[in-house]
Amino acid sequence: MRLTTLAWLTAGALSLSLPAAGQNPTMQTTPDDPHLWLEDVEGKEALDWVRARNAVSEKQLAGDPGFDALRTSLLEVLDSDARIPYVGKMGDFYYNFWRDKQNPQGVWRRTTLAEYRKDAPKWEVLLDIDALGKAEGVNWVWGGADCLRPDYDRCLVSLSRGGADATVTREFDVSDKAFVEGGFSRPEAKGQMGWIDLDTVYVGTDFGPGSMTSSGYPRIAKEWKRGTPMAEANVVFEGQDEDISIGAYRDDTPGYERDWVYRGLTFYTNELYLRGQDGGLTKLDLPDGAQKSAFREWLSVELRQPWTTGGREHAAGSLLAIRLDDFLKGDRDFDVLFAPTANTSLASSSVTKDHVLLNVLEDVKNRIYVLTPGEGGWKREPLVGAPAFGTVGVSAVDADESNDYFMTVTDYLTPTSLLMGTVGQAPAPLKQLPAFFDASQHEINQHFATSKDGTKVPYFMVSRKDLQLDGDNPTLLYGYGGFEVSLTPGYSAGVGRAWLADGGVYVVANIRGGGEYGPRWHQAALKENRNKAYEDFAAVAEDLIARKVTRPARLGMQGGSNGGLLMGNMTVMYPQLFGAVVCQVPLLDMQRYHKLLAGASWMAEYGDPDKPEEWAFLRKYSPYHNVGQDVDYPPVLFTTSTRDDRVHPGHARKMMARMEAQGHDVTYYENIEGGHGGAANNAQSAYMSALAYTFLKQKLFKDN
């Protein structure tokens, strides 16, 4: 139902390539910042600074007596052959990308459904990323593949150096298991390429000066013919510099082939155009703030704001549908597929051949419904066989040919199960993740804290069944609170092995800014109201302390990216509540975030610091500007990645430098590779996780 072909945009993924060593075109501004030089990502002086602090951190953390055992235990999980190999169907085959001990960078492979049902399927390896990297001398990281219907024999494969968002795209022949000599190829940049037909693609990338937006995304979409220079490709659409991104793509559903142009105005507003055979564009008359998508004969609209049309008012968070041909003729009588209530929101939707599967969050618990169009409208009924408990996900196996679906079921203590079913029949188990830790003595509870303004904020707590409410339990509080992202229960062997197994309590806060209760929950913490998210997180911490689950000296917190901004602000605003902080790939300098890599694309979330009236509220939640020398802050571990070209590593570097200069207890580790995820392979992931958990244990488990 959503524009999944443009998932790279909603993930905030596309930004400018990393500056070359010694270069940063924005460094001439804000000369009063003494740590500005640390924004020079790959500059020698900056990297020397990084390596010096890495050495200190490795001695403190990697030198801990329990570190090697913990890292080995975490890597054992990541490399385990018992993990579920999730697949996507194309034609007669089921495709999977897989990393393990023998293939640290991974292999792209496929199998048949009959084989996949077996405990040990036979896989046909199509592309070995480790071998490719060795042959080319580049640490390639898999970025996905777009394969051409109906044979799926030609694919556009994306790869990145060291896990960055910037990728290259190369044409790949599946039958030959080799890249096509002289085939379509896109140089390294933030962008994308997708098939129109065997000899034509849509491409958005860095075509040269002026071709990227200020956010670092493609500003121009082109139609490129095989055998011609990419620079001479036909321009399909050209956006403005202040837009977020432009993209063109083909919906190749048999019988419903259509071409679309997507214009991202801000992170939360967009325009959608239908491209005719003559190249002409028809803009769909829909709210800019809505998510728009076509599926078969239908047009769907997911609202972020209330909308009155066809004589009816529809609430924000609603999902509407209408036949596309009728809409283009002027009809505005939408069917309501979902309307939110006080405690429900739409988590996701998926389309099968004859149905729509709705995944609804009810107080952060999943409920799955099947919608079927008919003469009298849309019939709605629960999905047969969907569990009543646990986090449940559903997605179509092949929306064009069947009503089959995949279902995943999990929670914090229950190993994830993968099932396969057909609408109208109970699903059957396909794969089961083994128990990577003993959860028999643990339980999950949901609680609600009361925020400063009276809002009830849900949170999940995982603890031993015999937990003593004596205020002395080491507790880790995790949060995110942004971009309408919901945090739902999921099995984490890492949390289980590294934290729960040692008696720790694990808590996840569903604070405002997230999507747990739809757009209203997200929009309540936008821009000048950002403090609501921090008040919510503080309320959860205070509730844990009031219930005597823990006390400040035993309470740690962890978060990354926007969650790293959360960590920074909780540290400087509420230092008295916490005993340790793990702040990962964070935003921290809110005066310059929009000038660094993809930052400009997030101004709809945070605000524009170049506008005095907006900098007035942004400064209040800019940790870099609010940290002070004469405050007793909890110990902080900052981690980031040199290759993160989404959230600039300068945020973490500069915050570390400022707090270090002020004499605070701060630790720093920067992975030279890894991208925004912080790691480029399983070994790096295990190492980074082991650093974080070791730090938390050193601070929270000690006698204090």
Look up residue 420 and give its two tokens. 């396969």
As a whole number of Å, the CA-based R_g of the chain is 25
Using alpha carbons, list the distances in angstroms from residue 659 to 335, 638, 668: 55, 11, 11
Q: Which residues pair with 321 in a beta bridge?
A: 300, 335
Buried b (16+ CB within 10 A) or exposed e, 37-73: bbbbbbbeebbebbeebbeebeebbbebeebeebbeb
CB atoms within 10 A of CB 133: 17
Q: Where are the beta strands (DSSP E) in 226-318?
A: 234-238, 245-251, 258-266, 269-275, 281-283, 291-295, 298-302, 307-309, 312-314
Find, among 344, 343, 347, the residue nearest to 391 by Cα: 347
Q: Are the CB atoms for 201 and 193 separated by under 8 Å?
A: yes
> 347, exposed or middle or buried, with CB in 10 Å at 0-12, 13-18, 19+?
buried
CB atoms within 10 A of CB 613: 10
Using alpha carbons, list the distances in angstroms from residue 435 to 416, 491, 576: 9, 10, 37
- The residues that are catalytic are 561, 676
- Give me the phi and psi of 536, to 5 degrees please: -65, -45
Report the run of H or E that residue 572 belongs to, with start and end: helix 562-573
233 vs 211: CA distance, rounded Å = 13
Find, among 176, 177, 178, 145, the residue nearest to 159 by Cα: 145
Using alpha carbons, list the distances in angstroms from residue 24 to 27, 43, 206: 6, 10, 18
Range 136-144, long-range pairs (CB < 8 A, 24+ positions): 139/105, 139/673, 139/680, 140/105, 141/105, 141/675, 141/680, 141/681, 142/97, 142/105, 142/106, 142/108, 143/167
**DSSP codes joined into one string, 315-335:** -TT-EEEEEHHHHHTT----E
Degrees, nearest 5: CA angle 629-632-633: 95
Look up residue 313 and give its two tokens. 């008012």
> 189, exposed or middle or buried, with CB in 10 Å at 0-12, 13-18, 19+?
buried
Cα dihedral 409, 414, 418, 421 sign: negative
Whether omega for the bond prior to residue 649 falls within 30 degrees of 0, making it cis, is no
Q: Which ranges in 344-479 belong to alpha helices (H)?
A: none
- What torsion, rounded to 10 degrees, do the Cα atoms 387, 392, 393, 394 define? 10
486 vs 455: CA distance, rounded Å = 17
> 175, exposed or middle or buried, with CB in 10 Å at 0-12, 13-18, 19+?
exposed
Degrees, nearest 5: CA angle 335-260-243: 100
Q: Are the CB atoms for 313 and 287 separated by under 8 Å?
A: no
196 vs 173: CA distance, rounded Å = 17
Amino acid identity for residue 184 in this structure: F
